[in-house]
Chain A
């Protein structure tokens, strides 16, 4: 379709060219030649156009050429007439000229016209050319598009070709496969045909067999049908018989039912007979028991005797217990007495021994009689008194001595005070001595210096004396010497005044004293050192106390001491608890163990044995009582219950319900029947036997009889 479209468009474009250039051979096919031809056609078109234009020019030029010769001709004609023109001729010539001129103008106008036409045509042609060029361009574009498409198409074609080739290959392969399959299938078909043939043959055989069978079966069917008919007839016969049988069966059932009822009756009768036998047996046993009654009574008597003896024994036991209790109380009362006795004995023994000792002591002192002992004792006491007096004296003396000691101490203190004073004095004196010594030293030094000075002066004097001594100076010197000697003398006097020996003595005494004082001072220094140490210690203590007040004491809350404390308190509590418990148990134990444990044990054992006895007795009693009751019930036909104090309820063996009972009360006079619901129904019997015969046993046996007859009647019925 696209190709056709393109082709039509192409043809439409091409047509005008074809019209223009008919010379070009018509081209039907699209090929590269066409493009080449286009250029040719363009060329030819252009040529055409040029030809056309040149043609016109040629035509115009030819026309000019046509006219020009004419002119030339005229010119030739003008030049040729050589004879003078006649007026007419001139006139004609003039007319011709004018005409010619007119024609020329005409022709010129025509030429102009032609020129304008030509120009128009040129314009037209140019326009057409532009349009054609545009068209050409468009065509070229279209052509390029077409080429692209063509290439695309070619590619597609190539692809399609490849695909085609592939498809062909595949086709060939498939064909080969299919051929193979075909071969196989054909083989299979052949096999199948063979099989089919075989099958058909076998089927035919089977069919024949089946037909045979069918025939046989049909025959058998026919036979069986005949048999069926026979059987039907028999069935009809049998049904009739069955009906007869059912009737017979109903009859049989009836008879069997009757039989059952009869057997039931028989069984009842047998049961009655058995019960009768039982009764007989019971009667026999009752008789036997009645015979045994005497033995039983004996036994009862024996048991009663036993019981009595047991009661007696119990009473005895109680008595014994009381006695034991009494004896125990007595023993309890007697125990302290015994203890006292023991103590007294012990005391006695000790006293005797002490007495013996006393006696022995007395003997040792050579005293046999108590009197002599007393005398000796008196003498001893007197001696003691004397001794005490002496001791008191001694004590008074001691007091005196202590007082003396105190006074001595006081004196000593005084002396020490004096000593201190003396010490101060000594110190003063020592200082004085010291000063004096110093002064002495000073004085001796002064003296020495003066001596030196003197020596010097003497030397000078000798020198001056030896040299050129002046009379005046010598006089001066001598005066000085004199003075100095005087001073010396003065000093000597002063020294003499200080008595040497006395002074030395005094010094010695003072020295002795000072040494003494020194010793004392040393001892005191020691004391002081001791006291200082004590003071320091006390200061330290004081400081510690002060520090304690300044500091606060901290410790960890859960320290080992606190924990140990806690533990010990806990232990203490536990121990106290245990103690309490033990005390409690002890108290209980005292209560228990106050009585003699062996006796208690014995009593307990007795109690246990008596309990066991009692239990056994009770068991025996209950069993015998039960037996007795049963026997009474069996023999007399009445069950007697004691409902309260002196109230008895009796119910008959043959009573219809437990509601039917009579009650009696025991009076001082005898026994009386109490009114009950049941007794009110027995008006006749009450009237007859109680009011008339006044006999309760009779009434009861009559009631028994009546009830027995009633129940037996019922049973019989």
Chain B
């Protein structure tokens, strides 16, 4: 018993927070790596044992906080299956790149959950962070093979939620996107033992 108590215990909420934190850093990292915003608007921050860049732009900040607080709720309620960071050409709305963050729900530590009357996981936080770090490093490495974005680009985040999910205020339904002649690259996965995050980048293959 005492051994189990000292074990790491991750609640559903905590797991969702970890996921959303990862999303925040991943989206910021992509925005920086893909050069959507000028590099001087980013600030270096230590996270997961590596230096990551976070946008200081007030609009991006507010957008991400709005997005991630709502997404966290949805993830806790198992409403979301996928979040897509879409990079599109502003001039003709063409989708150039799509970063899919697939969320899969896992059972966690069943025995511990029964004991606590709450779904909890028992994965070591350090291990999770290690996994996330690996993914972040991969994200940083994608710049070597992703095509150069030579037009004015902007981004949007699409949340693939269940159909019974209510549309909150300030949210709207969007059309699903598709990239013609797409190339998919699956990055490493990580799991909090309650949620499994699968990161896939699909980009338009250069002609």
Residues of A within 8 A of B (CB): 547-548, 550-565, 568
Contact = CB atoms under 8 A, between A and B. Distances in A.
Contacts of A551: 81-82, 160-163
Contact of B173 (A547, A548, A552, A558): A552
Given A555-B174, A557-B170, A548 B160 contact: yes
Contacts of B176: 548, 553
Contact of A564 (B154, B161, B165): B154
B156 A555 contact: yes
A562 B86 CA distance: 12
A291 B163 CA distance: 117
Contact of A554 (B60, B90, B161): B161
B170 A565 contact: no
8 contacts: A552-B163, A554-B173, A555-B172, A556-B66, A558-B63, A560-B156, A563-B59, A568-B90
B94 to A, nearest CB: 12
Given A550-B162, A551-B162, A564-B90, A559 B175 contact: no
B55 to A, nearest CB: 10
A552 B90 CA distance: 24
A563 B154 CA distance: 9
Given A558-B63, A560-B155, A553 B86 contact: no
Given A548-B160, A555-B158, 10 more contacts: A553-B158, A553-B174, A554-B174, A556-B171, A559-B63, A560-B154, A560-B156, A561-B88, A561-B155, A568-B90
Contacts of B66: 556
A267 B27 CA distance: 114
Contact of B167 (A548, A554, A558, A568): A554
Given A553-B160, A556-B157, A561 B90 contact: yes
Interface of B: 59-60, 63, 66-67, 81-82, 86, 88, 90-91, 93, 152, 154-163, 165, 167, 170-176
Among A552, A554, A555, A563, find the residue whose CB has the most chain B CB atoms closer than 10 A: A554
B157 A555 contact: yes
Among B67, B154, B175, find the residue whose CB has the most chain A CB atoms closer than 10 A: B154
A562 B91 CA distance: 11
B28 to A, nearest CB: 13
Contacts of A564: 90, 152, 154
A552 B161 contact: yes
B156 A559 contact: yes
Closest CB pairs A-B (n = 8)? A564-B154, A561-B156, A561-B154, A551-B160, A559-B156, A555-B174, A557-B172, A554-B159
A283 to B, nearest CB: 97
B74 to A, nearest CB: 9
Nearest to A557: B172
A552 B67 CA distance: 16
A564 B86 CA distance: 14
A568 B156 contact: no
A326 to B, nearest CB: 54
Given A547-B82, A561-B86, A553 B159 contact: yes
Contacts of A553: 158-161, 173-176
A565 B93 contact: yes
A557 B158 CA distance: 11
Contact of A568 (B152, B160, B163): B152
A273 to B, nearest CB: 102
A557 B165 contact: no
Contacts of A561: 86, 88, 90, 154-156
A557 B171 CA distance: 5
Given A551-B160, A554-B159, A554-B174, A560 B63 contact: yes
Contacts of B167: 554
Among A559, A563, A564, find the residue whose CB has the most chain B CB atoms closer than 10 A: A559
A479 B155 CA distance: 101
Given A554-B171, A565-B154, A560 B60 contact: yes
Contacts of A560: 59-60, 63, 154-156
Contacts of B152: 564, 568
A551 B63 CA distance: 22
Contacts of B81: 547, 551
Given A548-B176, A560-B59, A561-B86, A554 B165 contact: yes
A547 B156 CA distance: 20
Contacts of A550: 162-163
Nearest to A560: B154
Nearest to B57: A560
A557 B167 CA distance: 11
Nearest to A572: B91
Among A550, A560, A562, A564, find the residue whose CB has the most chain B CB atoms closer than 10 A: A560
Nearest to B154: A564
A552 B165 contact: yes
Contacts of B90: 561, 564-565, 568
A555 B80 CA distance: 12
Contacts of B155: 559-561
Among B88, B156, B158, find the residue whose CB has the most chain A CB atoms closer than 10 A: B156
Contacts of A565: 90, 93, 154
Given A550-B162, A561-B88, A564-B154, A556 B93 contact: no
Contacts of A558: 63, 170
B158 A554 contact: yes
A543 to B, nearest CB: 11
Nearest to A547: B81
B39 to A, nearest CB: 17
A413 B20 CA distance: 55
Nearest to B81: A551
A491 B154 CA distance: 89
B172 A554 contact: yes
A562 B156 contact: yes
A556 B67 contact: yes
A554 B81 CA distance: 12
A644 to B, nearest CB: 75
A562 B176 CA distance: 15
Contacts of A559: 63, 155-157
A220 B138 CA distance: 143
A559 B86 CA distance: 11
Contacts of B82: 547, 551
Nearest to B36: A560
Nearest to B167: A554
Nearest to A565: B90
Nearest to B164: A552
A568 B91 contact: yes
A565 B94 CA distance: 12
Nearest to B170: A557
Contacts of A552: 160-163, 165, 173
